């Protein structure tokens, strides 16, 4: 990739390397994205241009931070930066061109939701990208269907784009800035409180909800109503959502937990039974990319990730603690079941009756998000 921001007397010129066109491919944070052609190779790329004289000091800082973060990334599910050119009045960011259109448009073309298999495949790829970002201590802060672009060809992959709001946690920036897109932003971001990479997981949950139902996550009819519901996290779990399979609903509800600590990390979400069963190829790729952090064979029961220090600070401390407690409960029951042959028939019958009485009621867990851990326990035993 060509060097980022110029610091020499003769920086490379965008016009020397690329031929511009007026074809607009899309819009994002800061401006439109247009098609360009490399003069040397003839390859068609995409360029996003920023006019510095129209930007405030804060916008300039955010723009430079986002470009610097994006330029360092390299992942199959993230759009690649080819080069950055800075002139006196403009900054041009050249990226690979993706010809399959936005995932948002694909939902509209279908007239509603995509299939559960397609949604699982897209979700797994998005989670692969976000797991990579969070492992590098990067928070995207604007994940939405419009920022997920498909590659050309039927059944091709997807890529996450538009890092205009992305920030590196290594910059010691206090994450309090309200940014993103209404309808996708995590409630804690809208409230102006300090937040973490768990905010990205809420946005992923909204994407999953819309892919699976073909509807917005909020039922408000006006912008102000949607903003109010978004700030309070009042997701509309209507009939189109209730018709989804139990495992699918469970993951979406966990991602849309109002408490950020209750949301799974991207790594943990990739181990959810729904994705393991519906998108096994993507889960295998994730395991190769993340190494030991995603263990086990696809045919084995899915278990929570081992407790370890998180590269994203507080985003997984609580959920991993709850997963550890869940494992201890399961181990205790399994240990008791191994000693069953030594029990008398009467004691064994008493144990089984007690265990059945203690099993969580799925209907209650499904209708009350605060009891989603009960559903997670059910998945272990089925």
Active site residue ranges = 142
- Give 257's DSSP letter: -
Cα-Cα-Cα-Cα dihedral sign, residues 203, 208, 214, 215: negative
C-alpha distance from residue 295 to each of 112, 268, 288, 342 (Å)? 35, 11, 10, 34
Look at the block and give the residue holding tokens 């050119």. Answer: 85
91 backbone dihedrals φ, ψ, rounded to 5°: -125, 125
How many CB atoms lie under 10 A from the CB of residue 291? 8
Given a contact cutoff of 8 angstroms between Cβ atoms, the answer to whether 379 and 273 are in contact is yes
Q: Angle, to 10 degrees, between the axis of helix 317-338 and the axis of helix 372-381?
A: 40
Residue partners of 155: CB distance under 8 A and separation at least 6: none
Residue partners of 321: CB distance under 8 A and separation at least 6: 307
372 backbone dihedrals φ, ψ, rounded to 5°: -65, -25
Q: Measure the CA–CA gap between 13 and 10, rounded to whole angstroms.
A: 9
Look at the block and give the residue holding tokens 């867990």. Answer: 365
> 35 exposed, middle or buried (CB, 10 Å; 0-12, 13-18, 19+)?
middle
């Amino acid at each position: 990739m060509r060097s980022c921001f110029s610091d020499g007397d003769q920086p490379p010129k965008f016009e020397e390397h690329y031929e511009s066109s007026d074809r607009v491919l899309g819009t994002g944070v800061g401006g439109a994205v247009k098609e360009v052609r490399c003069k040397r190779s003839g390859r068609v790329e995409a360029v996003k241009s920023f006019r510095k004289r129209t930007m405030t000091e804060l916008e300039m800082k955010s723009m430079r931070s986002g470009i610097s973060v994006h330029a360092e990334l390299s992942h199959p599910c993230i759009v690649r930066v080819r080069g950055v050119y800075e002139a006196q009045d403009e900054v041009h960011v050249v990226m690979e061109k993706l010809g399959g259109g936005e995932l948002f448009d694909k939902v509209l073309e279908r007239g509603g939701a995509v299939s559960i298999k397609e949604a699982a495949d897209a979700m797994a790829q998005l989670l692969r990208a976000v797991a990579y970002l969070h492992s590098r201590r990067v928070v995207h802060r604007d994940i939405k269907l419009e920022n997920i672009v498909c590659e050309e060809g039927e059944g091709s992959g997807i890529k996450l784009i538009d890092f205009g709001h992305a920030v590196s946690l290594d910059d010691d920036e206090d994450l309090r800035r309200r940014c993103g897109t209404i309808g996708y932003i995590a409630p804690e971001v809208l409230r102006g409180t300090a937040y973490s990479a768990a905010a990205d997981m809420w946005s992923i949950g909204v994407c999953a909800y819309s892919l699976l139902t073909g509807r917005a996550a909020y039922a408000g009819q006006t912008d102000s109503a949607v903003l109010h519901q978004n700030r309070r996290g009042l997701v509309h779990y209507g009939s189109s959502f209730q018709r989804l399979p139990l495992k699918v609903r469970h993951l979406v509800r966990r991602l849309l937990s109002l408490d950020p600590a209750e949301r799974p990390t991207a790594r943990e979400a990739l181990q959810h039974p729904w994705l393991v069963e519906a998108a096994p190829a993507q889960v295998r790729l994730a395991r190769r990319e993340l190494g030991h952090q995603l263990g086990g064979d696809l045919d084995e029961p899915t278990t929570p990730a081992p407790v370890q220090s998180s590269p994203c600070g507080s985003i997984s401390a609580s959920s991993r603690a709850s997963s550890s407690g869940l494992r201890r409960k399961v181990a205790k029951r399994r240990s008791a079941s191994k000693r069953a042959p030594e029990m008398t028939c009467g004691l064994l019958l008493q144990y089984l009756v007690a265990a059945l009485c203690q099993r969580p009621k799925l209907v209650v867990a499904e209708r009350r998000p605060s009891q989603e851990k009960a559903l997670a326990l059910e998945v272990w035993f089925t």
